């Protein structure tokens, strides 16, 4: 926790969220956020944004989750900035203002998670390292972003001094489908050339509020992100392709194979009521990495940063205690 956290009452509670965002958070973000694009190795245009703290004690790089965008992290970026950090955010390809799938912009499509990792590596080299005032880099990654982060940490062990993995996608859950059924479906998708078709249960943005079945407990935070998604077509990435599903499975296998090679100090934060990723895979990661600590939030869904007030307060306390140590 930053030293002034409790003194200045930074944490926004559920009741005051909308007012605080409009009156305090967004004015600061709008004044200080800068945007920048770069061209990926395959020619895709990748969008990034960042806030440079003139008294930067380190720079935190955020790797977001599946179908997410910067708006879901406005509150978090505000806390990081107010606690003395510069903050860097990349829209992973297929998300936000980065280039989208040519067949359907609502669809998440990659051939391999290595594409994400390559983009992330170029982002670090060409933007983060050039803009950071200290060159001291920390990593925050959530869900799909956690899988990207784990692969990056194995391939680039010297970039980050420490990393927080929040509900990382070491391995996905597959709903009611057995692993055998999933593998058959994925094989069939190759044979039938379904690379750019939605997986079962996945679809484009339909403008339906699904708070009750979402990964958030905080209604105000869900409604804030949903309103942003409704208002801007760039934020309407919503469903995964078969190709993305196969790439995610391959990424999980890669991470498990190379877990022992990851040396960066890591704090892994696990949700006790997570319907999207497998906690057993996270437990495996914690056990087989060299320097990973672990905290579990029993009453949280997948998005711990969108949990109830008490859990969310403890979560940010744990995150900043780790970063500030």
pTM: predicted TM-score of the whole model, two decimal places: 0.97
Residue ranges of E strands in the chain: 34-39, 45-51, 58-63, 85-90, 107-108, 137-142, 162-166, 239-240, 266-271, 292-297
User: Facing residues of 49 across strands?
Assistant: 35, 89
Q: Are strands 239-240 and 162-166 parallel, antiparallel or unpaired?
A: unpaired
Q: What is the CATH number of the domain that holds 254?
A: 3.40.50.1820
Q: What token pair was written down for 95?
A: 């998300």
How far apart, in Å, are the Cα atoms of 112 and each of 77, 132, 180, 224, 314?
28, 29, 21, 31, 35
27-42 pLDDT, tens digit each: 999 999 999 999 999 9
- Contact in structure between 136 and 55 (CB atoms under 8 Å): no
SS3 assignment, position 128: helix
Per-residue pLDDT at 237: 98
DSSP state of 180: H
Give the range of the structural domain holding residue 166, as residue numbers without chain letter.
5-324
Look up residue 79 and give its two tokens. Answer: 């806390």
Which tens digit of pLDDT belongs to each residue from 89-128?
999 999 999 999 999 999 999 999 999 999 999 999 999 9
* Pair 165, 304: CB distance under 8 Å: no
pLDDT over threshold 70, residue 1: no
- Reported as a single tens digit per residue, the pLDDT across 222-234 is 999 999 999 999 9
Q: Which residues contact 134 (CB under 8 A, 6 or more apart)?
A: 56, 57, 58, 59
- Percent of the chain, pLDDT > 90? 94
Count of structural domains within the chain: 1
Q: Which residues pair with 46 in a beta bridge?
A: 38
DSSP code, position 198: B
Share of the chain above pLDDT 70, in %: 97
Residues 6+ apart with CB under 8 A from 190: 246
Q: Rounded to whole angstroms, how far apart are CA atoms 183 and 41?
A: 30
Please, what is the average pLDDT of the chain? 96
- In 182-314, DSSP assigns E strands to 239-240, 266-271, 292-297
Beta bridge partners of 172: 277
Residue 154's pLDDT band, with cuts at 50, 70 and 90, is very high
Q: Is the pLDDT of residue 5 over 70?
A: no
């Amino acid at each position: 926790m930053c030293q002034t956290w409790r003194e200045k009452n930074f944490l926004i509670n559920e009741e005051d969220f909308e007012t605080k965002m409009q009156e305090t958070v967004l004015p600061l973000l709008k004044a200080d956020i800068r945007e920048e694009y770069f061209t990926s190795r395959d020619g895709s245009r990748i969008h990034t944004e960042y806030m440079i703290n003139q008294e930067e004690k380190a720079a935190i790089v955020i790797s977001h989750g599946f179908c997410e965008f910067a708006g879901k992290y406005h509150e978090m970026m505000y806390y990081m900035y107010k606690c003395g950090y510069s903050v860097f955010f990349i829209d992973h390809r297929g998300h936000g203002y980065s280039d989208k799938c040519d067949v359907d912009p609502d669809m998440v499509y990659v051939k391999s998670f290595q594409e994400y990792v390559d983009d992330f590596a170029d982002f670090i080299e060409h933007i983060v390292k050039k803009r950071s005032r200290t060159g001291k880099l920390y990593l925050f990654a959530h869900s799909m972003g956690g899988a990207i982060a784990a692969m990056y940490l194995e391939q680039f062990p010297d970039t980050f001094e420490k990393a927080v993995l929040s509900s990382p996608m070491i391995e996905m859950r597959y709903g009611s489908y057995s692993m055998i059924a999933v593998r058959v479906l994925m094989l069939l998708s190759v044979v039938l050339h379904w690379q750019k078709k939605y997986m079962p249960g996945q679809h484009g943005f339909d403008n339906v509020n699904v708070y009750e079945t979402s990964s958030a407990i905080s209604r105000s935070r869900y409604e804030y992100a949903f309103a942003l998604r409704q208002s801007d077509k760039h934020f309407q990435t919503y469903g995964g392709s078969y190709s993305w599903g196969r790439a995610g499975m391959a990424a999980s296998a890669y991470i498990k194979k190379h877990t022992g090679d990851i040396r960066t100090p890591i704090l892994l934060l696990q949700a006790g009521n997570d319907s999207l990723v497998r906690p057993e895979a996270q437990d495996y990661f914690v056990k087989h990495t060299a320097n990973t600590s672990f905290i579990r939030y029993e009453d949280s869904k997948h998005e711990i940063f969108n949990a109830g007030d008490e859990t969310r307060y403890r979560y940010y306390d744990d995150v900043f205690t780790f970063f500030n140590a």
